[in-house]
Amino acid sequence: MKEIVPYVHRVQYYETDKMGIVHHSNYIRWFEEARIDMLGQLGIGFDKIEARGIMSPILSVDCQYLQPVRFGEDVVITSEVTEFNGIRCTIRYEIRGKDDDGLRTKGKTSLAFLKADGTMLRMKKEHPDIYEILKNQIREEKSVTL
């Protein structure tokens, strides 16, 4: 298993609402940023995946907001693969304050791997290198319910 360096994001003004708190929709974007960063660190960035004719639509998103994040803060986003069966992949995220390490948000996304034409892809058979990379990244799901 390769250790992934957490993704760091600085909160921009446009990401906040009138109260100066990050609007809830931005956390989903941050999950995507962290996921793209993680896959790049694994050597299978979206550019490489899509160049091989693989699409990865999101099937579901869960997000639990615990503490607000505000303009100007830096947050550290960890992402971990918790499930992967060759077709479906689940990634867990934790967003923490960089300065205080407080857990602000947690969530997960599930995505599928399909051929460019939208048909099922048998990752283990058709792209065994990517299959092995993702299979080797699986971390046990924490006993936290979202």
Residues with a known catalytic role: 17
122 phi and psi, to 5 degrees?
A: -95, 90
Helix (H, G, I), strand (E, B) or coil at 15: helix
Q: Which residues contact 93 (CB under 8 A, 6 or more apart)?
A: 30, 31, 34, 77, 78, 79, 105, 106, 107, 108, 109
